[in-house]
Amino acid sequence: LGELPRAASVQPWAVLATSDLAVRGTRPLEGARLLALAHRCANEGITLVTFSTDEVFGGDAEAPHCESETPTPDLPHGRERHDLERALLAATRDLLLVRTGVLLEPGVVDDGFMRVLSALRSGARLRVPDDEIVSLSSVPHLLDATLDLLIDGERGVWHGTHRGAASLFELSRRVAELAGAEPGSISAGRALHPWGLESRPGMRALASDRAWPMPPMAVALAEHVAAAALARRDPSAA
């Protein structure tokens, strides 16, 4: 977002704005600048692509949240994200806004699931929340799917998650199994949130009533564990 004055000189047909907008637990600090970018893109006929998170939804639903559902955020930063989403949608019709779940960045060895594995390897026993139901977004698949949607001319709100929903507890145990660690050392509870975030009990997962452009959750999780194992053995491969 720091390169706004240079956008016109390269005559882009689309602008991809990421910043911190897809990171759970953070506030969209650059919202004002992103909104300014949206207005500029609208004036110049340029498509804007950006991201949001599952935090725009509350946790009281019984099923994962779809694009057609009206957001009802229950946390302050979720309300800020929703306000920014609405402002962006009002600023430009040529907008592709993709909401994400818990991000998986293959090769990053210090994300929440990898912290769980590190603790297990040290012999620790962990308690991980079983009442926060989430979906996953692998960054490589997310970017591939987003570019496909952009090229296909899709606009509006899309959910960029892998099919499936599970608790952080279930996912942590699955990661342990995939990595050859001891899943029995993980029990359900509130003592540890893998991302160091405020626990958000309830249904936080995203689904789609438009399309599923990304592979199933199990595929993304297996790829993530494999990439993290490679990065751990050979940091230069990350």
Q: What confidence score (pLDDT) does residue 179 get?
A: 93
Q: Structure pTM? A: 0.89
Specify the pLDDT at position 230.
77
- Rounded to the nearest 10 degrees, the angle between the axes of helix 217-233 and helix 168-179 is 50
Residue extents of the structural domains in the chain? 13-237
Burial pattern 33-62, b for ≥16 Cβ within 10 A else e, equals ebbebbebbbeeebbbbbbbbbbbbbbebe
pLDDT in tens, 32-81: 889 999 999 999 999 999 999 999 999 999 999 999 999 999 888 889 89
Q: How far apart are CA 98 and CA 155, in angstroms?
A: 10
Distance in angstroms (rounded) separating the CA atoms of residues 112 and 209: 29
The mean pLDDT of the chain is: 88
H helices of the chain, in order, are: 7-10, 31-44, 76-91, 112-121, 139-151, 168-179, 217-233
Model pLDDT for residues 129-139, shown as the tens digit of each residue? 999 999 999 99
Average pLDDT over residues 142-160: 97
Question: Residue 148: pLDDT above 90?
Answer: yes
Give residue 112's pLDDT.
87
Q: Give the residue, 69 or 111, on which the prediction is more confident.
A: 69
Output 108 or 32, whichever has higher pLDDT: 32
Is 186 in contact with 128 (CB distance < 8 Å)?
Answer: yes
**Average confidence (pLDDT) over 105-110:** 74
Mean pLDDT along residues 197-217? 90
- Using alpha carbons, select from 54, 40, 30 the residue that is nearest to residue 9: 40
CB 207 within 8 A of CB 165: yes
pLDDT given at position 95: 98
Res 8 pLDDT > 60: no
The predicted-structure confidence for 211-233, as pLDDT tens digits, reads as follows: 988 999 999 999 999 988 877 76
- Would you tell me how many other CB atoms lie within 10 Å of the CB of residue 237? 10
Mean pLDDT value across residues 185-199: 79
96 to 67, 85, 147, 194, 206: CA distances (angstroms): 12, 11, 10, 30, 17
Fold of 13-237: Rossmann fold (3.40.50)
